Amino acid sequence: MNSIRKSANAEVLHRLNSGDPVLEDVGPAIEVLPGMTKNTILASGPPIPWTDYVGGQRDGIIGGAQYEGLAATPEEAVAKLDSGEIVVASAHEYDAVGSLAGIYTASMPVFVVRNKTYGNVGYCNFYEGTNPRRLNYGTYDQGVKERLDYVHTVVAPVIRDAVRAAGGIPLKHLMVRALHMGDELHSRNTAASLLFTNEVIPHLLKISETQKTGVEKTIEALTADNYFFLRMSMAAGKCIADAAHGVEGASVISAMAIGCREFGVRVSGLGDQWFGGSLPSVEAKLFDGHNEDEITWMGGDSVIAETVGLGGFAQAAAFPLQAYQGGSPEVMVQRNRELYDITVGENTHFKIPYFGYQGTPTGIDIFKVAETKIEPKLDIGVAGTNGEQIGAGVVKAPLICFERAVTAYKEKYGE
Amino acid sequence: MNSIRKSANAEVLHRLNSGDPVLEDVGPAIEVLPGMTKNTILASGPPIPWTDYVGGQRDGIIGGAQYEGLAATPEEAVAKLDSGEIVVASAHEYDAVGSLAGIYTASMPVFVVRNKTYGNVGYCNFYEGTNPRRLNYGTYDQGVKERLDYVHTVVAPVIRDAVRAAGGIPLKHLMVRALHMGDELHSRNTAASLLFTNEVIPHLLKISETQKTGVEKTIEALTADNYFFLRMSMAAGKCIADAAHGVEGASVISAMAIGCREFGVRVSGLGDQWFGGSLPSVEAKLFDGHNEDEITWMGGDSVIAETVGLGGFAQAAAFPLQAYQGGSPEVMVQRNRELYDITVGENTHFKIPYFGYQGTPTGIDIFKVAETKIEPKLDIGVAGTNGEQIGAGVVKAPLICFERAVTAYKEKYGE
């Protein structure tokens, strides 16, 4: 390896380790996302033209147009999308990350998470709740609308007020602790959601003097299931990863994303180009009543977690995950250990108790992936063709993305 | 093994597994503990005469007498204890368990935890807070008094009101979940404390309308450190274990306790006799500035946790413990695995994710301990001769207690 690449990758690792995500605010996408417009809909995955979107992700975009009031019917939405009156773009290009289909519309509230060390911001919208029918799984109907409205009008404003009352909520120490409590902060956010709740309670208490019902309902939303923190973890991952992007000569991944057509990666030293390839393969544990034929791909930027050393890269911190996504402790340990072979180093904050508090493997090097043929392992929710979550599992990022990135790296920087 | 013992032990295991601890109330020891009197002081460990208490536990009893206003000075306390005007007894005989020295006085609030399946109740008083100078570590001074007063007059009444508003708080499901989040519910109660906080928040919100400051301070106490749940876990363990006591022919332990002079065990089928022996040995990780010569024994009933399949018997659920009490993940796994050789079965609720959700080894059989010479391993806080917590570690229960119990069993039931 040439020494420029080595020092560039060391700089990327340093930036990944020194990121300091702080939840600063909550606000509508139209107000806080740079460049967002009233008629823009964001979706997860590398950027592709509207006409390339298929399946659940296409359905999600159409549903988003209806939810935002940009179209009264799916047909009207399609016509306006076809004509360019409604614009579709990749969330990643707006400093945001989308869960599954990852639909953002202008009025949706988003978490505003600033990387205090580097000043940049990452965004993510809110978790829709436990009901498997969700816009981010490509479904839109009256129930989905009502649940979105509830989160947007009841929960988000209370969280916003609490965050403002707190003067911002540092997230990294919560993430560090959650890794000691069975979370890997992608498919498991149980402890982090509790820790976050705990952090905002004193502020919620104050707010409850004037907004009693809202606070009660928000506490319910925070604690009723175990995923509330995921969107903050994603925004944190995004602002950490973005600060590590653009290091000249670096061969470390600064973003991964699942699209409805292919998986893609972006590399710190290779500008804004995405390197795509086939769709990933998945080992899934499906909910009762579902089968593998139903598995479909409709996007997913939540693999930003693995990009910064979480999720699949911290599986051995989260043995309870086996109940949700299958696998055995032995497999989880073996999978997690081999990922050290494809990263440039270890995380200095995110640590795995079972590995004697060794830092998680961090900074995925395209050369190491291409040479070892060890694919990054990613913890994901699995979508079904009917537009619901039907399970969860472990995805292997396709090698071809990394091989193409290596080719581009060699073209730019020489052998 | 004769078939009476086998079926008796199966019954004990069934009772240990089917215990259902519910926090019903909080009240002063004098009002809720059966048989408690104004001039009684309880201490942890098997029952011994006042004159046998030594070291920190003796100091704790004297401090308790002062705290309760039974004596103005240590000298007066000793005189009244010598004359029998102040009575000392074992907490275990009052259905209660004491942490470390385990001092209970009449006015102290205690958790009232009922085993809903069997109707019996277990009690434990409140955690004093993070300051290493505590009455339960044999220290008494103005600071200790103030911290006790704070817990008793500010925190306990709010918890009592919340518990009553909730109509009781079932604890077992919290304990089950905490084991999936890095706790073993003896030396680590981080997740359980958060889960409990989460459970009472809706009730605290209501109470805060009239008791704002008290609720704010209580939330601080609940969340400022990570031990608040320990005393509830202990009371839960006590009422689970007591329901498994008194099964004719059973050779399973129904209580273990550390005294200032010796370790002792009680056996389900051998009545109220304690089988004592030498003090245990300990592998400790000491706080900075302390050394092994300072380690002292001043009691501890918290090993009720291990009696019901928690603590050391669930160490592989709590890898983060290595940061607190030392050891390595490998040693924790090996220690936990070998305990299956000395128990009659597995817990049907308390499970270990790292073991593929296998139940914790539960129901310590005196015969199996004596035959295999595998001592029960117990997670404890370590006290120093100057009367503070100086570290934490893993204790081996002395074999001699189990051997003496086996002898007594054979005398009663034949070979």
What CATH number did the domain enclosing B363 receive? 3.90.1700.10
Number of A/B CB contacts below 8 angstroms equals: 85
| A339-343 mean pLDDT | 98
Residue of B nearest to A219 (CA): B202
Residues of B with CB under 8 A from a CB of A: 180-182, 190-191, 194-195, 197-198, 201-202, 205, 208, 212, 215-216, 219-220, 223, 319-320, 322-323, 328-329, 353-357
Residues A225 and A353 in one domain: no
Residue A256 to chain B, least CA–CA distance (Å): 28
Q: Which residue in A has a C-alpha nearest to residue B209's C-alpha?
A: A209
Q: Distance (Å, rounded) from C-alpha A104 to C-alpha A87? A: 12
Q: Do B201 and A180 touch (CB under 8 A)?
A: no
At A49-67, the pLDDT tens digits run 999 999 999 999 999 999 9
Among B208, B220, B357, beta carbon nearest to A208: B208
Q: How far apart are CA A415 and CA A409, in angstroms?
A: 8
Amino acid at B158: V
The full length of chain B comes to 415
**Amino acid type, B352:** I
Extract the tokens encoding B171: 């604890």
Residue ranges of chain A whose CB lies within 8 Å of a chain B CB = 180-182, 190-191, 194-195, 197-198, 201-202, 205, 208, 212, 215-216, 219-220, 223, 319-320, 322-323, 328-329, 353-357
Q: Cα–Cα distance between A323 and A319 in angstroms, integer?
A: 9
CB contact (8 A) between residue A353 and residue B181: no
pLDDT band at A386 (very low <50, low <70, confident <90, very high): confident
What is the model's pLDDT at position A177? 98
Provide the pLDDT confidence category of residue A33 given band limits of 50, 70 and 90: very high
Query: What is the chain A residue with the closest CA to B212?
Result: A205
Do B147 and B275 lie in one domain? The reply is no
Contacts of B196 in chain A (CB under 8 A): none
> What local confidence, expressed as pLDDT, does residue A1 receive?
59
Cα distances (angstroms) measured from residue B66 to each of A89, A321, B62, B144, B204: 72, 51, 7, 11, 33
Helix (H) or strand (E) holding A14: helix A3-18
Q: Is residue B54 part of a domain?
A: yes
DSSP structure string for A392-407 = EEEEEPPHHHHHHHHH
Selecting from B194, B212, B354 the residue whose C-beta is nearest the C-beta of A195 gives B194
Look up the pTM and report it: 0.95
Indicate yes or no: CB of A201 within 8 angstroms of CB of B195: no
**Tokens describing residue A155:** 């929960």
For residue A197, which residues of chain B lie inside 8 Å, CB to CB? 198, 201
Please count the structural domains in chain B.
Answer: 2
Ranges in chain B, pLDDT < 50: none
Would you call B88 helix, strand, or coil by DSSP? strand
Pairing of strands B274-276, B263-267: antiparallel
Residue B243 domain flag = no
Tell me: do A339 and A406 sit in the same domain: yes
Reduce the DSSP state of residue A207 to 3 states and report it: helix
Examine the domain organization and report whether A54 and A196 are in the same domain: yes
Same domain, B47 and B116: yes
CATH of the domain at A146: 3.90.1710.10
Mean pLDDT of A103-131: 96
Probe site for chain B from A201, A315, A330, A332 (most B CB atoms < 10 A): A201
Q: Looking at the domain assignment, is residue B75 inside a domain?
A: yes
Q: What per-residue confidence (pLDDT) applies to B132?
A: 84
pLDDT of res. A210: 86
The pLDDT-based confidence of A415 (bands split at 50, 70, 90) is: confident
Residue-level pLDDT at A127: 92
Of B208, B219, B319, the CB nearest to A353: B319
In a domain, residue A242? The reply is no
Residues of B within 8 A of A191 (CB-CB) are 181-182, 191, 194
Q: Are residues A302 and A227 in the same domain?
A: no
Question: Which residue has tokens 């956010």?
Answer: A189
Question: Is residue A241 in a domain?
Answer: no
Task: Determine the pLDDT at residue B386.
Answer: 83
**Angstrom distance (rounded) from CA B372 to CA B359:** 21
Inform me whether the pLDDT recorded for A363 exceeds 70. yes
In angstroms, the separation between the Cα of residue A167 and the nearest Cα of chain B is: 19
For residue A245, give Cα distances in angstroms to A16, A112, A265, A402: 10, 19, 12, 16
pLDDT tens per residue across span B200-222: 999 998 898 888 889 999 998 99
From A233, A263, A283, the end of a domain falls on A233
Residue-wise pLDDT tens digits, A270-297:
999 999 989 988 888 999 999 999 999 9
Whether A240 is covered by a domain: the verdict is no
Question: Residues A57, A191: one domain?
Answer: yes
Contacts of B355 in chain A (CB under 8 A): 329
User: Between chains, do B219 and A208 touch, taking CB under 8 Å as contact?
Assistant: no
B327 Cα to chain A: minimum distance (Å): 9
Region A397-409: mean pLDDT is: 98
Alpha helix ranges (H) inside B284-398: 304-307, 322-325, 329-338, 366-372
Of B233, B264, B285, the last residue of a domain is B233
Give the C-alpha separation, B333 to B351, whole Å.
14
Question: Which of A181, A218, A226, A358 is best to mutate for the B interface (most B CBs within 10 A)?
Answer: A181
Contact between chains at B322 and A353 (C-beta distance less than 8 A) = yes
Number of CB atoms found within 10 A of residue B37's CB? 12
Quote the minimal CA–CA distance from A37 to chain B in Å. 39
Q: For A319, which of B191, B220, B353 is closest by C-beta distance?
A: B353
Contact A194 B191 (CB under 8 A): yes
Q: What pLDDT score was predicted for residue B226?
A: 85
Percent of chain B with pLDDT over 90: 87
Contact at CB, B322 and A208, closer than 8 angstroms:
no
Partner-chain contact B180 A328, CB within 8 Å: no
Q: How far apart are CA B42 and CA B365, in angstroms?
A: 28
Residues B406 and B261 reside in one and the same domain: yes
For residue B244, being part of any structural domain is answered with: no
- Domain final residue pick, A233, A265, A296: A233
Same domain for B217 and B289?
no
- Reading the block at residue A140, the tokens are 């839109």
> Is A194 in contact with B190 (Cβ distance < 8 A)?
no
- The shortest C-alpha distance from A10 to chain B (Å) reads 28
Measure the CA–CA gap between A359 and A267, rounded to whole angstroms. Answer: 22
For an interface test with A, the pick among B158, B173, B181, B183 (most A C-beta atoms closer than 10 Å) comes out as B181
Which residues of chain A have a CB within 8 Å of the CB of B223?
Answer: 198, 201
Residue A198: which of B181, B223, B354 has the nearest Cβ? B223
Mean pLDDT within A305-326:
95
Query: With 90 as the cut, is the pLDDT of residue A46 above it?
Result: yes
Interface test with B, best of A174, A176, A180 (most B CBs within 10 A): A180
CA dihedral A41→A47→A52→A56, nearest 10 degrees, is: -60
Per-chain mean pLDDT for chain A: 95
φ, ψ of residue B130 to 5 degrees: the values are -80, -20
B2 CB-near residues (< 8 Å, 6+ apart)? none
The CA–CA distances, whole Å, from A42 to A47, A86, A93 equal: 10, 11, 9
SS3 B105: coil
- Other CB atoms within a 10 A radius of the CB of residue A253 amount to 32
Q: Is residue B245 part of a domain?
A: no
Average pLDDT over residues A256-273: 97
One domain for residues A200 and A344: no
Our CA-based measurement puts residue A356 at a distance from the nearest CA of chain B, in whole angstroms, of 6
Of B198, B205, B320, the CB nearest to A208: B205
Question: Are B259 and B393 contained in the same domain?
Answer: yes
Using CA atoms, how far apart are residues A361 and A368, in angstroms rounded to an integer?
A: 13
State which residues form the domain around B29.
3-233
Contacts of A357 in chain B (CB under 8 A): 322-323
Amino acid at A167: G
Mark whether A406 and A351 lie in a shared domain: yes
Q: By CB neighbour count within 10 A (0-12 exposed, 13-18 middle, 19+ buried), where does A396 fall?
A: middle
